Amino acid sequence: MTSSMPGFAPDSEPHSVSSIMRQVLYALVPGIALYVWFFGFGIVINCLLATSVALVSEGIMLRLRKRPVTPFLTDGSAVVTAVLLALAMPPYAPWWVTSIAAIFAIVIAKHLYGGLGYNPFNPAMAGYALVLISFPAEMTTWPLPHMLSEMRPGFIDSAMIIFADQPTGALKLDALTGATPLAHVKSELGNMRMVSEAVGAPIFGMLGGKGWEWLSLGYLLGGVWLLYKKIIKWQIPVSMLAGLFIMAVVFYLSDPEIYLSPVFHLFSGATMLGAFFIATDPVTAATTPLGRIIFGAGIGILTYVIRAWAAYPDGLAFAVLLMNAAAPTIDHYTQPRILGEGRQ
Amino acid sequence: MSQTLWQFHGGLKLPGHKALSNREPSIPAAIPERLFLPLQQHIGIASRPTVKIGEKVLKGQLIASAEGYVSVPVHASTSGTVIDIGDYPVAHPSDVDARCIVIEPDGDDVWVERRVPAQCDLLGPKAVNDMIRDAGIVGLGGAGFPSHVKVNEGVENVVDTLIINGAECEPYITCDDRLIRERADEVIAGASLISRTVQAKRCIVAVEDDMRDAYAALEKVLIGDIELAKVPAIYPAGGEKQLIFTLTGKEVPCGRLPIHIGIVMHNVATAAAVYRVVHYGEPLVSRYVTVTGSVVSPRNMQVLLGTPVGDLVDQCGRPDGPPKKVIMGGPMMGIPVQDERVPVIKTTNCILVTDALERGPQMPCIRCGDCVDVCPVNLLPQQLYWYARAQDFDTAQDLHLFDCIDCGCCAQVCPSNIPLVQYFFFAKSEIAAEEEARGSADRARGAYESRTARLAKDEAERARHLQQGDIGESRAKNDRGQKKAYIQAAIERTKAKRATAREREGSPKDNATVGPDRKSTPESNE
């Protein structure tokens, strides 16, 4: 542009949209590595599948919307959406479920609202919520950690399960899968058992479920790195974890036989992934400093409410989507006081 | 001297690049072949030529007189002949021509007779103020607001603190630094003179903490109870409201002026210029300009107003290779110069020659909020951008669009390379144009009735506001009234800036060139 104000080229490399997305992906590496270690290669195949579908969808939509394809296809946002979606889904979900979720995330939740920067709802969570509601059976088949199933499916086996709905040879899908810790507790409580009885099952570890607790630690590690690199800001993760934790403390103290421990809540399900990678999606989050705290706390509280009293064992996706809808209102009422405002 | 300092929100620690140009003493720039002196080098109403083409003029001779209260005269920067009064390129964000008086210097640089009052140390406020106005002095820090208006406000109100601003915060610029080092006595004497004129209880001369030599020079010549202060070098530490907050912890209320909290601020170069006119009878005909960036020998020069920037680039050694971008001002707030005939004016502090300022392609805003963290006014630039882009100007104003100081911190940190300040400039211009259109419709409707009466009243009201600087003067305690008046004042400023643009183009809107260039952005088909 000819009449542009000059920008100032800083000496250090500034953030760009693609560098932000790239670093988010780097931060997911510890979590994904632990995922593979405990649950086999399904997650890798799912990530690759979701990414391919997302990129093809993105390319088609950019073309249809007459947008420049290269800068937007390479900005990394579709890849981040796809990988987060894959991490939220069961790793052995059939290929068509993952594909539908990815297509919905990119085409409906992202591009029909205007593409990068304009989508009000977190695309990954929108895609996840669609398939969770539509295909409950496929979406609740979760793997057991390798210590419990005594098997760790390799790449080929995982691919067979995902694409042909059955493992090879001697492997039996039933032997590989089981309830997640959150789902197990929910069903046990439904069967009039106590929390103390439910958590005696072999799937439970020190902090949360066996295996799952390590994934949570992996995501936590990546999240702390993102904070350190100033890719995300502290308000949303801290307030979300605090919201969930405080709710859990209050009800746990009121009756530890009906309500799970706060630590278990923090290290189970999608808590850590959600706090550092999903709720922090800037496009769909509240954007004022105070607004981010309210937004994060809302997700934490709603997640707890859904986990404790609603039909779904984990409620993070719905909590995120609900707070996405509230974000513009939160922003409106949390404008910071500007220099000189309210002074006489 | 230990002082309590306050820290304003946001800001950026930027690489200063000051050493590039502040090591060499300043030298006078050569007298150019032609001087282009715009009639508008200040905020307010353009001045009116008092010379004719062909007339011989002397250095310091009045060539254009002030038109109204918020206006200042222009003087010939050297002796020579007026060869044209017409439209020539000037530095302007919209890249338009403006009315200039063109002088062909005779090379003798002969001064007009300079009158120095007999007892210049005993002059009353009125006399000092008149001298400042007649010398054409405006805020030399970059804003260009007529100095006599500010001094007059100070005379008419109780002044708690006079701040002389030497916090030169924008990277690359060192003209105030060099001026202080070379003329510390003039700065201090000017400060003392203004302080006495406005009856300030305190007078603080502030520099950034990385301007050690300037601080030392000031310390040496300090007189009376003038205080020195070092403020942290965080951009924009030298912004008026930021510096006031840093030094006093006081916030200038939104929509009001520093005088409302008993503060008057002038730039160090302005203080020196005030001293020069009172003690030597010299009107403002030259100023310190930093010529820096990739020129062969970056330095500061004492430049005659009206000197084309290309001459300065040549004198400091034009860099080899393909032509580089020339920016008038600094890297954060400067304006790219498209034509090297563009002259140095009263507010020109720097000529930056560079090609290192290019940013990557513009991407959509992802609302990351980095801009919020650095905004020194604590605005929400991402929200302002959203509404400015959607042309929802009412909401943009609710988000304090007119409190934006154009510092550019937001654009600097934007990962999507969005030229945010340009969008804000566009929104402000659009609002000004709307107000203007509404104004003329009103006038047409009222033509049968009390047209003249109302106009006169409006004008008087406006003049009173500007004169007293008391924008919310109606004593309207309610916010709406104050806000409206404040916006009106901001619009007046924008209008004044646009006046030059309109004059030439003859079209009521010049926003096509002002607005962000959508064709070059990936979101062009939105």
Q: What is residue B29's DSSP assignment?
A: P
A91-115 per-position pLDDT tens digit: 889 999 999 999 999 999 999 999 9
Determine whether the interchain pair A10/B171 forms a contact, defined as Cβ–Cβ distance below 8 Å: no
- The answer to whether B9 contacts chain A (CB < 8 Å) is yes
Determine whether the interchain pair B363/A14 forms a contact, defined as Cβ–Cβ distance below 8 Å: no
Contacts of B357 in chain A (CB under 8 A): 6-9
For residue A341, what is the nearest residue in chain B, using CA coordinates? B254
User: Is A2 exposed, middle or buried, given 0-12, 13-18 or 19+ CB atoms closer than 10 A?
Assistant: exposed
State the pTM of this model.
Answer: 0.84
- Do residues B500 and B441 make contact, with C-beta atoms less than 8 angstroms apart? no
Determine whether the interchain pair A233/B253 forms a contact, defined as Cβ–Cβ distance below 8 Å: no
The one-digit pLDDT tens for each residue of chain A (344 residues) are 333 344 444 444 567 899 999 999 999 999 999 999 998 888 999 999 999 999 999 999 999 999 999 889 989 999 999 999 999 999 889 999 999 999 999 999 999 999 999 999 999 999 999 999 999 988 888 888 887 776 777 788 888 888 887 766 656 667 777 778 888 888 888 888 888 877 778 788 888 888 899 999 999 999 999 999 999 999 999 999 999 999 999 999 999 888 999 999 999 989 999 999 999 999 999 999 999 999 999 999 999 999 999 888 888 999 999 999 999 999 999 999 999 988 77
Closest CB to A71: pick one of B357, B419, B522. B522
For the record, the structure tokens of A286 come out as: 């509240």
Contacts of B488 by beta carbon, 8 Å cutoff, 6+ apart = B435, B462, B465, B471
Interface list for B 439-458 with A (CB within 8 A): none
**B267 vs B180: CA distance, rounded Å:** 11
For residue A230, what is the nearest residue in chain B, using CA coordinates? B370
- Do residues B414 and B363 make contact, with C-beta atoms less than 8 angstroms apart? no
Interface list for B 237-266 with A (CB within 8 A): 241-242, 245, 251-254, 256, 261
Concatenated DSSP letters for B82-112?
EEEEEEEE---TT--EEEEEEEEE-SS-PBP
- The answer to whether A17 contacts chain B (CB < 8 Å) is yes
**B405 vs B237: CA distance, rounded Å:** 12
For residue B261, what is the nearest residue in chain A, using CA coordinates? A344
For residue B353, what is the nearest residue in chain A, using CA coordinates? A6
Closest CB to A116: pick one of B15, B95, B364. B364
Interface list for A 109-128 with B (CB within 8 A): 114-118
Closest CB to A344: pick one of B253, B363, B370. B253
Q: What are phi and psi of B116, to 5 degrees?
A: -115, 125
- The answer to whether B377 contacts chain A (CB < 8 Å) is yes
User: Taking phi first (over 0 means left), then psi (-120 to 50 degrees means alpha), and beta for anything else, what does residue B110 get?
Assistant: beta
Query: Domains along chain B?
Result: 120-280 (3.40.50.11540), 370-520 (no CATH)
ipTM over 0.85: yes
Contacts of A287 in chain B (CB under 8 A): 367, 369, 372, 380, 382-383
CA A225 to chain centre: 17
**A324 vs B395: CA distance, rounded Å:** 21
Interface list for B 150-189 with A (CB within 8 A): 171
The one-digit pLDDT tens for each residue of chain B (526 residues) are 457 899 999 999 999 999 999 999 999 999 999 999 999 999 888 999 999 999 999 999 999 999 888 999 999 999 999 999 999 999 887 777 899 999 999 999 999 998 888 777 778 888 999 999 999 999 998 888 999 999 988 888 899 999 999 999 999 999 999 999 999 999 999 999 999 999 999 999 999 999 999 999 999 999 988 999 999 999 999 999 999 999 999 999 998 899 999 999 999 999 999 999 999 999 999 999 999 999 999 999 999 999 999 999 999 999 888 888 999 999 999 988 989 999 999 999 999 998 877 788 899 999 999 999 999 999 999 999 999 999 999 999 999 999 999 999 999 999 999 999 999 988 998 898 888 888 777 666 655 555 555 555 656 666 655 555 443 334 444 445 555 656 666 666 666 655 544 444 444 333 333 334 433 333 333 3
Determine whether the interchain pair A6/B325 forms a contact, defined as Cβ–Cβ distance below 8 Å: yes
Interface list for A 70-99 with B (CB within 8 A): 71-72, 75, 77
Determine whether the interchain pair A1/B520 forms a contact, defined as Cβ–Cβ distance below 8 Å: yes
